[in-house]
């Protein structure tokens, strides 16, 4: 009987959407909020009072998605695969942002390039969000949450600084893993810079585990698409559970640079908790190098200065 009570207590202690705090008066920007985890997170945040901005590539789809949400929303165009679109979005912004959620992403695509000539997964998942975050950072008041993935562990992946576009040896899997590793390194260096500048803004990363979304449907390999479709049907958690790490990172008081994921076996499913990352994703020297290269590639630089006492 005692063991049963203990197990029940553990289950009751697990964090879920019912524990979201009230967010009235706060603005949250969610990239890729028109479907999947982004839409689920946007809906949950709006339901507890946040004003949620859908930053989406397709305005028509974004408006249709926002219409399904109970709460305050607006829709603005943002194409992360086009740096001019990122700049236009930021140029049109003048209001405080309490939470920026870098959620949008592409996964395991056939070889493609962004409008600016970057490999599509690295260009969209990392460089687009890198530029967006730095351009919006003067308006951010609380935190930045960037979506990574367990894919950062695939095959001892590293950042291919000599060939970031993977012109030699491109595979959809390798490109996706590199982009997700970049998301974690970006979060690490962003937090270092925020701390050094005296900012109270915090940088977090999150991953959804194995969540059934439409992201996997764009995989280049038809066998991989079929396998993931079966996995989505029989093994994956739904997008509501997949959104919990994002919501946890967006609302809970956590140490800077925290990484949130599911607490289950292999971090594939479960309640949100702090999780670990690979050594490659924890290397501050690599994180700084990636930041410098990203500034050079995007033309977007760190917007915050150190306090006078630290100069």
The predicted structure's pLDDT at residue 209 = 95
Longest CA pairwise span in the chain (Å): 63
Q: Across all residues in the chain, what is the average pLDDT?
A: 90
The predicted structure's pLDDT at residue 307 = 43
The predicted structure's pLDDT at residue 5 = 39
Pairing of strands 272-274, 259-262: antiparallel
Q: Quick one: DSSP state of residue 207?
A: -
The predicted structure's pLDDT at residue 220 = 53
The predicted structure's pLDDT at residue 230 = 47
The predicted structure's pLDDT at residue 289 = 98
Question: Contact, 222 vs 210, CB < 8 A?
Answer: no
Nearest to 155 by CA among 169, 173, 180, 182: 173
- Give residue-wise pLDDT tens across range 131-146: 999 999 999 999 999 9
The whole-angstrom separation of Cα 305 and Cα 99 is: 21
Whole-structure pTM value = 0.89
Instruction: Establish whether 248 is a catalytic residue.
Output: no
The predicted structure's pLDDT at residue 211 = 77
The predicted structure's pLDDT at residue 2 = 45
The whole-angstrom separation of Cα 66 and Cα 139 is: 23
Q: Report the 10 Å Cβ neighbour count for 233.
A: 9
The whole-angstrom separation of Cα 65 and Cα 75 is: 9
The whole-angstrom separation of Cα 110 and Cα 218 is: 9
- Give residue-wise pLDDT tens across range 168-199: 999 999 999 999 999 999 999 999 999 999 99
Question: Contact, 203 vs 191, CB < 8 A?
Answer: yes
The predicted structure's pLDDT at residue 6 = 46
The predicted structure's pLDDT at residue 213 = 58
Hey, what domains does the chain have and what are their CATH numbers? 20-299 (3.40.50.720)
The predicted structure's pLDDT at residue 29 = 99
DSSP H or E segment with residue 106: none
Within 165-276, residue ranges assigned H as helices are 172-196, 222-234, 239-242, 244-251
Length of the chain: 311
Percent of the chain at pLDDT > 70 equals: 86
Q: Which of 176, 204, 210, 259 is catalytic?
A: 176
The predicted structure's pLDDT at residue 221 = 59
Average pLDDT, consecutive stretches of 10 residues, N- to C-terminus, the chain (311 residues): 45 85 98 97 98 98 97 98 98 98 97 98 98 98 97 94 96 97 98 98 96 56 51 67 97 98 93 97 98 98 65 30
The predicted structure's pLDDT at residue 235 = 58
């Amino acid at each position: 009987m005692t063991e049963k009570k203990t197990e029940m207590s553990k289950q009751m202690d697990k964090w879920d959407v019912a524990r979201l705090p009230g967010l009235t008066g706060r603005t949250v920007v969610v990239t890729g909020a028109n479907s999947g985890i982004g839409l689920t997170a946007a809906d949950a945040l709006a339901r507890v009072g946040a004003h949620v901005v859908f930053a989406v590539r397709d305005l028509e789809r974004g408006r249709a998605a926002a219409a399904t949400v109970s709460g305050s929303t607006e829709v603005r165009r943002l194409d992360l695969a086009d740096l001019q679109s990122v700049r236009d979005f930021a140029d049109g912004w003048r209001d405080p942002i309490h939470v920026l959620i870098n959620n949008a992403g592409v996964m395991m695509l056939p070889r493609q390039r962004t409008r600016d000539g970057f490999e599509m997964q690295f260009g969209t998942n990392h460089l687009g969000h890198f530029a967006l975050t730095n351009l919006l950072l003067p308006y951010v008041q609380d935190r930045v949450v960037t979506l990574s993935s367990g894919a950062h562990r695939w095959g001892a992946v590293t950042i291919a600084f000599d060939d970031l576009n993977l012109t030699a040896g491109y595979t959809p899997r390798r490109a996706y893993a590199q982009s997700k590793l970049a998301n974690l390194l970006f979060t690490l260096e962003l937090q270092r810079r925020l701390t050094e500048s005296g900012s109270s803004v915090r940088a977090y990363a999150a991953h959804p585990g194995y969540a059934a979304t439409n992201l996997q449907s764009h995989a280049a390999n038809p066998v991989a698409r079929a396998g993931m479709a079966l996995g989505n049907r029989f093994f994956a958690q739904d997008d509501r559970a997949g959104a919990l790490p994002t919501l946890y990172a967006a609302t809970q008081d956590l140490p800077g640079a925290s990484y949130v994921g599911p607490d289950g076996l292999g971090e594939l499913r479960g309640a949100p908790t702090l999780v670990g990352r690979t050594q490659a994703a924890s290397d501050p020297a690599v994180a700084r190098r990636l930041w410098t290269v990203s500034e050079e590639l995007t033309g977007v630089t760190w917007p915050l200065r150190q306090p006078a006492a630290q100069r």
